[in-house]
Every structure is written in C-alpha cells, then in structure tokens.
Structure 1
Amino acid sequence: MATHLITGAGSGIGEAVAQRLHERGDELWLVARDAGRAKDLAARFPGAHTLVADLDTPDRLSWALSHQTLPDRLDSLLHIAGISDLGAVGELSTKRWNRTLAVNLVAPAELTRLLLPQLRISRGHVVFLNSGAGVTARPEWGAYAASKHGLKALADSLRGEEHTNGVRVTSVYPGRVATPMQAGVQQQEGNAYTPDKWIAPSSVAATVLLALDLPRDAEIHDLSVRPGYSGS
C-alpha cells in the first residue's frame, strides 16, 4: 500500500485522483484549508488522514505542519491545488499577483521542502499539476501563466537536485478540464461553461496514475494532455 499526500482533493482533478487512489486501498493524507474542509474530506474519503494548512500563506506552512502528525514516509506528493485569476497585466494588483504566486508556486515549493525527508526515505515521486499555460502565455493570463512557468522551473530544478536520492519528479500539463475552476475561468472570459468540450477530471487522474505507476527503471518528466475528439 502506497502513501500519498495530496493538495486540492476537495474538487476537480484532485478529487478524481484521490478517489482513484482511495479505491485501490492506498493511504491518503489530504491537505485542507481549514478544519471544516478537513472534516468534509474525512467524510468523503473514509480512513484518510487530513492536514490543515492554508496554501494562501506559504510562510506559515512550516508552523502549521509542525503542530500536526505527518506521515513517516511518502510514496508521492501530489501538488494539484491551484487558483486562476485572470486579468491584463495593466490591471492586476500586487495582491492578485501575490496570491496567485503563493498558491500556485510558493506553496508547492515550501511543501516540497518540508516533506523531502519523507520522500527520500521511500524514493518517492513528486507530481506537479501544471497547465498548458505553463508552456504558452496568452493575453489576460499573465499572473496564472507566470505561476505555472515558475512551477515548471521548480519541477525541473527539483528533478536534477533529487535524482541521486531516487526521487522522481513529473509535471503534467492538461488542457482545459471540466472542473469548478474551469467554470470560473469561463465566467471570467465571458463564455458559457460547456463541460462536454473539455477533458474529464477522471482522464487527467488516469494520466497522473500512469506516471505514479511507472516501473522504477523509468521516469516521466513532462506529460501533456489535451482534449480529444468526443464524436459529438
């Protein structure tokens, strides 16, 4: 039985990944913003452990986790939580920039730093749920794309640093996925939300598990996933 720590398990891709791992009997440690959300996650995933840590404030993550029980070892750390706050560079405030970078980039870096000892013990796997925006930046997507470009740099640096410790690092770059975040993006862009046009969260979850379950003699560095033809 493998042990996984997951951010973003409350909805969308994170929830789909947690469900797949829970169904096969793996041990889950789920990060929640507050005690109420932690209680909800514990009810949805019986037997899972919960950790309360607010990704909005990465400089407090060390303090928050130091007051809670952590796993002795980790087979994977799955960074799936994220936010998308769109807007032109000429309109975005520093508050919006800082929150986007905190949740999407700095918090994953800090969580990784804090949990590397457990990952090294098991020669574990760090997965960063990136985005197509981590490869190409479009108008109105400056802050989000910057955070995801930074996340790619974080993953690439970590991979080189931890290779000799046996820690694998994978970045997954999905296109648009039918999640609550995507519904918010469509609203920001002034479009109707049509989930049948986008990738199902379960399909991205399958991609994440593909990387996790790869035999130890191989490692997926970067994996892009795009909407396929639905036949409709």
Structure 2
Amino acid sequence: MATHLITGAGSGIGAAVARRLHERGDDLLLFARDAGRGKELTSRFPGSRALVGDLANPDRLSWALAHQSLPDRLDSLLHIAGVVDLGPIGELTPKAWHSQLNVNLIAPAELTRLVLPQLRVSHGQVIFINSGAGLSAGPQWGAYAASKHGLKALADALRQEEKPNGVRVTSVYPGRTASPMQVKVHQQEGKEYDASRWIDPESVATTILAALDLPRDAQIDDLTVRPGR
C-alpha cells in the first residue's frame, strides 16, 4: 500500500487526486493550513491523516513538521496547492509577489526538503502541479507566472539531484481547469465563468496518476494538459 502526501486536497485537482487514491486504498497524508481544515479533510477521506502547516509561511514549516509525526517512508509528494493574484507589473505590490512566491514556489521547495529522507527510502516520486503559465507568461500574469517558472526550475534541478537516490520528479502543466481557482481568475479578469469550456479536474487527475503509476523502468519528466475544446 502506497503512502502519499498531498497539498491542495480540499478542492479542484487536489480533491480529485485524493479521491482516486483513497478509493484504491492508498494511505493519504493531507496537508492542511490549520487543525480545523485538517479535520474537515480527514472526515472527507476516512482513514487519512492530516499534516498541519501554513504554506503561506514557509519559514515555519520546519517547526510545524518537527511537532508532528511523519511516516518512515513516502511513496509520493504531490504539490497541488496554489494561489493566484493577477495584475500588471506596474501595480503589483510586494505583498502580491510574496504571497504567490511563498505558496507556489518556496513552500514546495521547503516541504520537499523536509520529506526527502522519506522519499529516498521508498525511491518515491515528487509531482509538481505547475501551469501553462509556468511555460509562457502573459499580461497580468507576471507574478503568478514567475512563481511557476521558478517551480519548473526547482523540479528540473531536483530531478537531476535526486536521480542517484532513485527519486522521480514530474512537472504537470495543466491549462485552464474547472476549479475554484479558475472561478477566482475569471472574477479578476472580469469575465463570465463557464466550467464547460475548461478541463475537468478528473482529467488532470488521470494524467497525474498515469505519471505516478508508470513502471520504474521509465519516468515522465514533463506533462502538458490542454483543454480539448
């Protein structure tokens, strides 16, 4: 039975992945920003455990994990949580930059660092849910895209560093996906939201599980998923 640590399991892609892994009987360790959120997540996925820490404050993650029990081994670390705050470069404040860089880039780097020993034991896998914005930046997307371009660099470097330890690293680049984050994006863009135009989170979850379940004689480094309509 595999053990997975998942961020962002509360909605969208993260919830779809957590549900699929839970249904097949895998053990889930669900990252939550506080104890209340952790209780909500574990009640949704019976038998799972919560790991509490604030991704918006990555400097405190080491302290938070030191006061909680981690499994001896992890088969995967799935970085799915993310935040977005659109705006032109000329108007984005340091707060907007820090919030996105902290959650989208620095927290994944720190969380990965903290659980690498468990991943090395199992020759596990790290999957970073990136974005199309991690490959190309458009107007209003500067800070978010910068955080996601950085996430790509993190994954590429980690992949080479951890290959001798048997840890696989995959980046997934979904296009626009029907999720609460996409609702927020449309609100910021001043556009009407139509979920039917975008990728179903279940479709992205299918691609993530394909990378996760790939036999050990191969690995998927980068995987791009785009809306089919």
Normalised by the length of structure 2, the TM-score is 0.99
Query: What pairs up with 1:48-87 in 2 under 5 angstroms?
Result: 48-87=48-87
* Residue of structure 2 in register with 1:172 after alignment: 172
Aligned residue in 1 for 2:213: 213
Counterpart-to-counterpart distance in 2, 1:82 and 1:191:
21
Partner deviation per Cα, 1:89-146 (whole Å, 9 max, x = no partner): 0000001101100000000000000000000000000000000000000000000000
Structure 1 position 121 matched with structure 2 position 114:
no
* Counterparts of residues 130-169 of structure 1 (less than 5 Å): 130-169=130-169
How big is the shift at 1:30? Answer: 0.2
Does 2:100 align with 1:100?
yes
Matched, 1:110 2:113: no
Deviation track 1:173-205 (CA, whole Å, cap 9, x = no partner) reads: 000000000000000000011000000000000
CA distance in 1, matches of 2:61, 2:146: 22
What SS is found at the alignment partner of 1:77? Answer: strand
Q: Which TM-score applies when normalising by structure 1?
A: 0.98
How far 1:88 moved relative to its partner? 0.4
Instruction: Indicate yes or no: 2:186 matched with 1:196.
Output: no
SS at structure 1 position matched to 2:89: coil
Alpha-carbon distance between aligned partners in 2 of 1:101 and 1:71, rounded to the nearest angstrom? 28
Q: Which residue of 1 aligns with 2:28?
A: 28
* 3-state SS of paired residue (1:31): strand
Q: Helix, strand or coil: the match of 2:145? A: helix
**Aligned equivalent of 2:90:** 90
Q: Which residue of 2 aligns with 1:12?
A: 12
- Cα distance in 2 for partners of 1:143, 1:45 equals 34
Tell me which amino acid in the other structure corresponds to 2:206: A
CA distance in 2, matches of 1:84, 1:99: 9
Using the alignment, how far apart are the partners of 1:192 and 1:53 within structure 2? 34
- 1:184 & 1:152 partners in 2: Cα distance? 23
Q: Tell me the amino acid that sits aligned with residue 28 of structure 1.
A: L
Stretches of 4+ moved more than 6 A in 1? none
Gaps in structure 1 of 5+ consecutive residues: none
Structure 2 stretches of 5 or more lacking a match? none
Q: Identical aligned pairs, as a percentage?
A: 72
Residue 71 of structure 1: how far off its partner (Å) = 1.2
